[in-house]
Chains A and B, each alone.
Chain A
Amino acid sequence: MAEALAVRNLSRRFGGLRAVQDLSFSVNEGETLALIGPNGAGKTTSFNLITGYYRPDGGSVCAFGRELVGLRPHDICAHGLARTFQVARPFGKMTVLANVMTGALLRDHKLEVARQKAGEVIDFVGLTAKQHAPARDLTTIDQRRLELARALATQPRLLLLDEVMAGLNPAEIDQAVGLVGKLAQRGLTIVIVEHVMRAIMAVASHIVVLDHGQKIAEGNPREVVANQEVIRAYLGTGYAHAEPVGDARC
Chain B
Amino acid sequence: MMHGLLGRSGFWLCVLAAAALALPLVASPFAVDIGIRVALFAFIGVAWNLMGGYAKQLSLGHAAFFGLGAYTSTILLIRFDISPWIGMLAGGVVAMLASLPIGALCFRLRGPYFAIATIATAQVLMLLFLKFRDFAWGAEGTTIPNLGDAPLMMQFDGKAPYYYIALALLAIGLLITYAIERSWMGYYLVAVGEDEDAAEAIGVDALRMKRHIYLISAFLTALAGTFYVQYIYFIDPNVAFSFNISVEAALVSIVGGIGTLWGPVVGTVLLEPTSALLQSWLGSGRGGVQLTVYSLILVAVILYRPAGLIGLFTDIATRLVHGSQARTKEAPLDG
B199 contacts which chain A residues (CB < 8 A)?
Answer: 74, 91, 102
Report chain B residues within 8 Å CB of A52: 200
Contacts of A7 in B (CB 8 A): none
Determine the chain B residues whose CB is within 8 A of the CB of A13 once the complex forms: none
Query: Is B190 in contact with A93, judged by CB distance below 8 angstroms?
Result: yes
What distance in Å separates the Cβ of B106 from its nearest Cβ neighbour in chain A?
19
Interface with B: A30-38, A77-85, A182-190, which one?
A77-85
Pick the interface stretch among A18-26, A103-111, A216-224: A103-111
Q: Is the CB of A74 within 8 A of B198?
A: no
Indicate which residue in A73, A92, A131, A151 contacts B335 across the interface (CB closer than 8 Å): A131
With both chains docked as a complex, state the minimum distance between the C-beta of B1 and any C-beta of chain A, in angstroms.
Answer: 14
A11 at interface, CB cutoff 8 A: no
A111 contacts B184, C-beta separation under 8 Å = yes
Nearest chain-A residue to B200 (Cβ)? A73
Contact check, B327 vs A77: say whether CB atoms are below 8 A apart.
no
Question: Does B284 count as interface, using CB distance less than 8 angstroms?
Answer: no
Cβ contact of A93, chosen from B188, B197, B206, B333, cutoff 8 A: B333
Q: Could you say which interface size class chain A belongs to?
A: 35 or more
Minimum CB distance partner of A103 in chain B: B202
How many Å lie between the Cα of A209 and that of B205 in the bound state?
33
CB pair A150 B335 closer than 8 Å: no
Over the window 295-335 of chain B, the binary record of Cβ atoms lying under 8 Å from chain A Cβ atoms (1 yes, 0 no) is: 00000000000000000000000000000000100101111
In contact, A150 and B334 (Cβ under 8 angstroms)? no
Q: How many residues of B contact A (CB 8 A)?
A: 26
In the complex, are the beta carbons of B203 and A92 less than 8 A apart?
Answer: no
Q: Which residues of B contact A110 (CB under 8 A)?
A: 184
Contact B195 A132 (CB under 8 A): no
A96 to B195, CA, bound (A): 15
Closest approach, in angstroms, between the C-beta of A100 and any C-beta of chain B? Answer: 8
**Min distance, Cβ A113 to any Cβ of chain B, angstroms:** 10
Closest A residue to B183 by beta carbon equals A111
Complex CA distance for A182 and B197, rounded to whole angstroms? 28
| B residues less than 8 Å from A72 (CB atoms) | 200, 205
Residues of the A chain whose Cβ atoms lie less than 8 Å from the Cβ of B66: none
Q: B204 contacts A91, CB within 8 Å? A: no
Q: Could you tell me if B335 and A93 are in contact, using CB atoms closer than 8 angstroms?
A: no
Q: Does B254 contact A (CB under 8 A)?
A: no
Q: Is A153 an interface residue (CB 8 A)?
A: yes
Which listed residue, B197, B206, B330, touches A111 by the CB 8 Å rule?
B330
Cα distance A52–B201 when bound, in Å? 9
Q: How far is the CA of A114 from the CA of B202 in the complex (A)?
A: 13
Identify which of B184, B197, B332 contacts A73 (C-beta below 8 A).
B197
**Contact indicator B332/A154 (Cβ below 8 Å):** no
A112 shortest CB reach to chain B, Å: 10
Contact with B along A41-60 (1 / 0, CB 8 A): 00000000001110000000
Provide a sorted-by-A list of 28 A–B residue pairs whose CB atoms are within 8 angstroms: A53-B200, A73-B197, A74-B199, A74-B206, A77-B201, A78-B203, A82-B202, A91-B198, A91-B199, A93-B333, A94-B335, A95-B333, A98-B187, A98-B190, A101-B187, A102-B190, A102-B191, A102-B199, A103-B202, A105-B187, A105-B188, A110-B184, A111-B330, A115-B335, A131-B335, A132-B335, A150-B202, A153-B202
